[in-house]
């Protein structure tokens, strides 16, 4: 095979991988949607009013279902686990754990200080963390997946 043909084939493989990676990442609207749904759900539960909790729970379930269906329909491909690797999985886990830690620490602190609606107030920075951090997480995962070698270990 002439070197130019090999170079063209590699360029095509890189372009297709980039297309798969771009298609598989969560869209930018995903993070704000999850943040808003989370805050509304927590606020409805924290209201302690039965009908507000019921409506909030139903809206949360419907909204989350709609978000998931939209993301699944958009993602026509699924990323192989070896493309993301352990570093990608650890980044996702660290992101989630950091947000949970912030939310719990702030919520318990606000509750100890007898601040009204401590869980809802604690969810606000967590939702902001989803919106801001989600964009950075997706950027990191994109770079990570595109940096992997084209050849598989299979």
Listed in sequence order, the residues at least 6 apart from 137 whose beta carbon sits closer than 8 Å to its beta carbon are 91, 92, 95
Per-residue model confidence as pLDDT tens digits over 19-50: 665 665 778 899 999 999 999 999 999 999 99
Q: Taking the complete model, does pTM exceed 0.75, yes or no?
A: yes
Cβ pair 40, 120 in contact under 8 A: no
Mean model confidence pLDDT for the chain? 86
Confidence of residue 100 (pLDDT cuts 50, 70, 90): very high
Q: Would you put residue 49 in left (φ > 0), alpha (ψ -120 to 50) or beta?
A: beta
The residue length of the chain stands at 154
pLDDT at 146 (0 to 100):
77
């Amino acid at each position: 095979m002439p070197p130019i043909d090999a170079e063209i084939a590699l360029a095509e493989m890189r372009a297709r991988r980039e297309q798969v990676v771009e298609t598989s990442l969560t869209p930018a609207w995903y993070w704000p949607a999850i943040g808003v749904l989370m805050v509304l759900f927590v606020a409805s539960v924290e209201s302690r009013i039965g009908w507000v909790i019921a409506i909030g729970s139903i809206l949360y379930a419907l909204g989350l279902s709609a978000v998931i269906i939209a993301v699944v329909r958009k993602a026509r491909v699924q990323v192989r686990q070896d493309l993301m690797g352990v570093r990608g999985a650890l980044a996702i886990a660290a992101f989630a754990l950091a947000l949970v830690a912030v939310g719990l620490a702030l919520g318990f602190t606000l509750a100890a200080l007898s601040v009204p609606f401590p869980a809802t107030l604690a969810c606000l920075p967590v939702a902001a963390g989803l919106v801001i951090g989600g964009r950075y997480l997706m950027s990191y995962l994109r770079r990570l997946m595109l940096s992997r070698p084209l050849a598989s270990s299979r």
